[in-house]
Amino acid sequence: MTRRINPRKAKIHQSYTVEEAALLFGRSIPTVRSWIKKGLPIMRGQIPHLILGAELREYLDKTQRSSKRPLAPNQLYCLKCRKPQAPYGGLVDYVPISAKRGRLEGLCPTCEGICNRFASRRQLPQFAEIFDLTIRPHKSA
Ligand SMILES: [Zn+2]
């Protein structure tokens, strides 16, 4: 499990060496180097390379936002585990909410709780290929 980073620890008007940045966020030096490889800008004019606090903050902000775990087509989201899970046995129910939209429900293989995701009726043929899908009738109110 990786702990979340607080990008605000980086002071905007300060610059950091790789070592300092690693220390600041409690990460290893190779981790910070990997950020640089993935696009964190550094000032290349000097040795040691310096990372601007503002850049560091922006980079971490951006990557943390984008790491909001998109679901793979064969996954539902388990609220208890707080992560995507492939439902137990691939068994999934489609529970209609309206004529067009509904929820896919399955059992979490880890905690045996309910995992789900929203789906539109149009997506059902796709999901039927991935899951063992049962479509529940729409209870109209
Ligand atoms: Zn779970």
Please state the domain count of the chain: 2
141 in a structural domain:
no
Same domain, 128 and 93: yes
Query: Distance, CA 111 to ligand 1 centroid (Å)?
Result: 4
Q: What percent of the chain lies above the pLDDT cut of 90? A: 76
92 or 4: which carries more pLDDT confidence? 92
CA distance 116 to 101: 13
pLDDT value of residue 45: 79
Peptide bond into 48 cis (omega under 30): yes
Confirm if 78 and 115 have CB atoms less than 8 A apart: yes
Same domain, 19 and 41: yes
Q: Which domain holds residue 89?
A: 76-135
pLDDT value of residue 82: 87
Query: Distance, CA 27 to ligand 1 centroid (Å)?
Result: 28
Domain of residue 33, CATH code: 1.10.10.10
pLDDT value of residue 1: 45
39 in a structural domain:
yes
| Count of alpha carbons within 13 angstroms of residue 101, beta-carbon side | 3
Query: Distance, CA 87 to ligand 1 centroid (Å)?
Result: 9
128 in a structural domain:
yes
Query: Distance, CA 64 to ligand 1 centroid (Å)?
Result: 22
Q: What is the pLDDT of residues 33-61, one digit of tens each?
A: 999 999 999 988 778 889 999 999 999 98
| Residue from 49, 45, 52, 10 nearest 27 by CA | 10
CA distance 51 to 14: 9
The side-by-side arrangement of strands in the sheet containing 114-120 is 83-85, 76-78, 114-120, 101-107, 91-96, 132-135
Strands 76-78 and 15-16: unpaired
CA distance 95 to 103: 5
Q: What is the pLDDT of residues 88-138, one digit of tens each?
A: 999 999 999 999 999 999 999 999 999 999 999 999 999 999 999 999 988
